[in-house]
Amino acid sequence: MKIARIPYAEVPQFSVRDVAYATSRQDLRPFYKYPVTLDAFADVLWDRTAQPTDRALLVDELEQQYAALSTDVAPPPALQHLRSRQTFTVITAHQPALFTGPFYYILKICSAINLARQLQQRYADYTFVPVFITGGEDHDFAEVNHTQVYGNRIEWQTEAGGPVGAMATDTLAPALAQLKDILGDRPTATEIYEIIERTHTQHATYGAASVALVHELFAKYGLVVADMSRPAFKRAFVPIMERELFDSVSQPLIEEAQRKLGPLGYTGQAHAREINLFYLSPGRRDRIVRGEGAYRVLDTEHRFTEEELRQQLHEHPERFSPNVVMRPLYQELIFPNLAYIGGGGELAYWLERRAQFDAFGLNFPMLVRRNSVLWIDGGNQKKLAKLELDYRELFRDADLIIRDYVAEQSENELSLAEELGALEALFRGIAEKAERIDPTLAKAVLGEHARQAKTVENLEGRLRRTEKQRFETAMNQIRTLREKLFPEGGLQERYDSFLNVYLQEGEQLFGVLIEELDPLREGLVVIQP
C-alpha cells in the first residue's frame, strides 16, 4: 500500500472549524481541556483516576449484553480488564447506520483501536480498551436507514417509529436481498454478506443486530461494543438527569459557549433546550417540556407534576433518554474514559460542552479528530495514471479541473491574454489622443474598448469549447473519476460503504486501516494499492 497524508487545510471539503481544531488553532484553545498529543495523556490519566467509575456495573452489564448475542464470537478479553482501576477506555460512537452506513463508521473504529495500541505502548502500567458505542436511542430514522454500495442506494423501509435500536429487524428482508444481489457471489462477498445477514436475522431488534455486526467484525482486534440503552446504566445516570430535569443546568452553559464562539467565526452546533431529555414510550421518543406549572411529554397525553416526574425518574429511569446535549455526559459517567474520537462535526458539538462537564462534576475528555481517508483503488489509480492527473487535482470542481487539463494538454494556444493586452494598449493610446481633443471622445473610446475586449473574451471561450471537444473522452473520465472519489462533490468516506473497498481487499482492509489511521497525526490519509 502507498500511504500519503494531505494537510487538512489543503482539502476544501473540510469545514473551517474542523481544520481549526485539527491544526490546533489557538482561538479554540479555551474550549477544550487537553492538547491532542500522546504526552498529554499523562494528565488525562491523572485527572480521570480521580473520578470514580462503577466498574462492576459496567462489566456486569456488558457481559449480559454479550451473553444475549447470537454469535459464536467470544467477547474480547479486554472486557474483563475493565474491572481493574488501572484500565481506561478510548471511545468512539455512531448511530446504528444500515449495514454500517458510510465508510467513516468503520474509520472511527479503526482510529480508536490504533490510539488504544499507542497508549498501551507508551503507558505500559495501564491497560487501554477501545470502545464503540452504538447510539440506538436516536430516532432520526432518515439518517440511518440507508447505505450506498457501488453507487446503489439500499434503503430500509418500515413504518415503525421511536428509537432506532428498538425497531424490529423482521422488515429488513428486502434490504438484505438487495444487498446480496449487489455484492454478488465472489468468495469475499459471500463471506461478508453471511455475517451481515446472520447478525440482522438472528436478533429481534436493530440495536442488538448492530452490536452483533460490529462485534463479529472487530472482536479480534480487542474492540468492546456497547449499547447504552441498558436500564442499569440509566439508573446510574439518574442524579445527572434529575438536575437537568429540575434545574435546567445545560442550556445556559452551552449558550454561553456559543456566544463566545460566535465572534471567532464559529456558529453554534447544538440547540440546547430547557430540558435536554426525551421520554420513551412504546414506539415513541418525545421531548419533555416544562410549562403551566407541570411537565409534559410533547405530542402525548403524559403530564406530570414535579413530584410525579421525579418519582417516574427514580422508579423507571429506562423511560428517560439523553439527547445530543446530554449523551456525552452519559458515556463519560459510565466508562473510565480518556478520549473521545469523532469527526469534525461531532467535535464541534463537544467544543460547546466544557463548562457543562464542570457543572456536573465530570472530567472533560481529550477530543481527538478521527482520521479521514481517501481510498484510491487499482482501477481508479490506472485511470489517473493514463490521464497523467494527480489525485490532488480532484479536490477541485470538475469544470476547473477540465479547463486546466485541456489547457495543459492542448497543442494549440488557447489564451488570448496577449491579444487583450495589445487591444488595451491600442485603445489607451487612442483615448489619450481623444482626451486632448475632446474629453467626451475619450469616454466613447473606452466604451468601445470594453465592447471589443468582450468580443475577444467570447472568442477565447469559443476556442476553449472547440478544443474541449477534442478531449471529450478524457473529460468524461475526469468527471467519472471525481464522482467516484468525491461523490456529489463531498468526501468519499461520507457517502460510500466500506463494502466498496472490502470486496477488493477482504479482511486485510481492517488491518491496513488500524495500522495506518493514527488519529494523533493531522491530515487526510490517502491510500493507494
Domain count for the chain? 2
Backbone angles phi, psi at 340, to 5 degrees: -110, 130
Contact 133, 340 (CB under 8 A): no
Q: Which residues contact 380 (CB under 8 A, 6 or more apart)?
A: 481, 484, 485
Q: Rounded mean pLDDT of 119-128? A: 98
Tell me whether residue 223 is in a domain. yes
Tell me whether residue 247 is in a domain. no
SS3 524: strand
438: confidence class by pLDDT, cuts 50, 70, 90: confident
pLDDT confidence of residue 466: 66
Helices marked H in 274-397: 306-315, 327-334, 344-350, 354-359, 378-387
DSSP label of 499: H
CA-CA-CA-CA dihedral for 340, 342, 345, 350, to nearest 10: 0
pLDDT at 167 over 80: yes
Model pLDDT for residues 210-266, shown as the tens digit of each residue = 999 999 999 999 999 999 999 999 999 999 999 999 999 999 999 999 999 999 999
- Whether residues 514 and 426 fall in one domain: no
Contact 188, 506 (CB under 8 A): yes
CA-CA-CA-CA dihedral for 375, 129, 132, 324, to nearest 10: -120
pLDDT confidence of residue 403: 83
- Whether residues 384 and 512 fall in one domain: no
Strand order in the sheet with 524-528: 2-6, 524-528, 373-375
pLDDT at 150 over 70: yes
DSSP string, 124-192: TTSEEEEEEEE-TT---HHHHSEEEETTEEEE------S-GGGSBGGG-HHHHHHHHHHH-SSHHHHHH
Contact 139, 110 (CB under 8 A): no
412: confidence class by pLDDT, cuts 50, 70, 90: low
- Whether residues 422 and 473 fall in one domain: yes
Tell me the sheet residues that pair with 89: 129, 337
pLDDT at 381 over 60: yes
Stretch (H or E) spanning 450:
helix 439-469
- Whether residues 118 and 152 fall in one domain: yes
Number of helical H runs and strand E runs in the chain: 23, 15
- Whether residues 333 and 424 fall in one domain: no
Tell me whether residue 400 is in a domain. yes
Identify residue 464 by its one-letter amino acid code.
R
Q: Which residue has the higher pLDDT, 162 or 347?
A: 347
Tell me whether residue 65 is in a domain. yes
Model pLDDT for residues 487-497, shown as the tens digit of each residue = 988 999 999 99
- Whether residues 201 and 116 fall in one domain: yes
Other CB atoms within 10 Å distance of the CB of residue 54: 15
- Whether residues 124 and 227 fall in one domain: yes
Tell me how far CA of residue 11 lies from CA of 8, 130, 441, in angstroms: 5, 29, 51
Query: In terms of Cα–Cα distance, which of 311, 275, 277, 309 is closest to 290?
Result: 275
Which range of 190-204, 411-425, 460-474 scores highest in mean pLDDT? It is 190-204
CA distance linking residue 387 with residue 509, whole number of Å: 27
Compute the half-sphere exposure of residue 513: CA atoms within 13 Å on the CB side of its CA: 28
Model pLDDT for residues 9-66, shown as the tens digit of each residue = 999 999 999 999 999 999 999 999 999 999 999 999 999 999 999 999 999 999 999 9
Query: In terms of Cα–Cα distance, which of 279, 317, 323 is closest to 298?
Result: 279
pLDDT at 521 over 70: yes
Other CB atoms within 10 Å distance of the CB of residue 321: 23
pLDDT confidence of residue 421: 86
pLDDT at 465 over 80: no
Burial class (CB in 10 A: 0-12, 13-18, 19+), 74: exposed
Its domain, for residue 421, covers 379-489
- Whether residues 440 and 501 fall in one domain: no
pLDDT at 467 over 70: no
Q: Rounded mean pLDDT of 387-394? A: 90
Tell me whether residue 227 is in a domain. yes
**Degrees, nearest 5: CA angle 448-450-452:** 70
Stretch (H or E) spanning 374:
strand 373-375
Q: Which residues contact 335 (CB under 8 A, 6 or more apart)?
A: 53, 58, 89, 91, 131, 226
- Whether residues 104 and 146 fall in one domain: yes
Percent of the chain with pLDDT over 70: 97
pLDDT confidence of residue 160: 84
Query: In terms of Cα–Cα distance, which of 494, 514, 515 is closest to 14?
Result: 494
pLDDT at 174 over 90: yes
Query: In terms of Cα–Cα distance, which of 522, 391, 439 is closest to 5?
Result: 522
Tell me whether residue 303 is in a domain. no
Tell me whether residue 274 is in a domain. no
pLDDT confidence of residue 472: 78
Q: What is the mean pLDDT of the chain?
A: 92
- Cell numbers at 81, concatenated: 480488564
- Whether residues 346 and 483 fall in one domain: no
Backbone angles phi, psi at 373, to 5 degrees: -135, 140
CA distance linking residue 212 with residue 196, whole number of Å: 9
**Least confident interval from 154-158, 223-227, 399-403:** 399-403
Q: Which residue has the higher pLDDT, 62 or 1?
A: 62
pLDDT at 313 over 60: yes
CA distance linking residue 170 with residue 203, whole number of Å: 9
Strand order in the sheet with 277-281: 303-304, 294-297, 284-291, 277-281, 320-322
411: confidence class by pLDDT, cuts 50, 70, 90: low
115: confidence class by pLDDT, cuts 50, 70, 90: very high
CA 7 to chain centre: 18
- Whether residues 388 and 471 fall in one domain: yes
Query: In terms of Cα–Cα distance, which of 364, 329, 376, 355 is closest to 524?
Result: 376
Q: Which residues contact 401 (CB under 8 A, 6 or more apart)?
A: 389, 393, 394, 478, 482
Contact 395, 367 (CB under 8 A): no
Tell me whether residue 278 is in a domain. no
- Report CA torsion sign: 510, 511, 512, 516: positive
- Whether residues 155 and 29 fall in one domain: yes
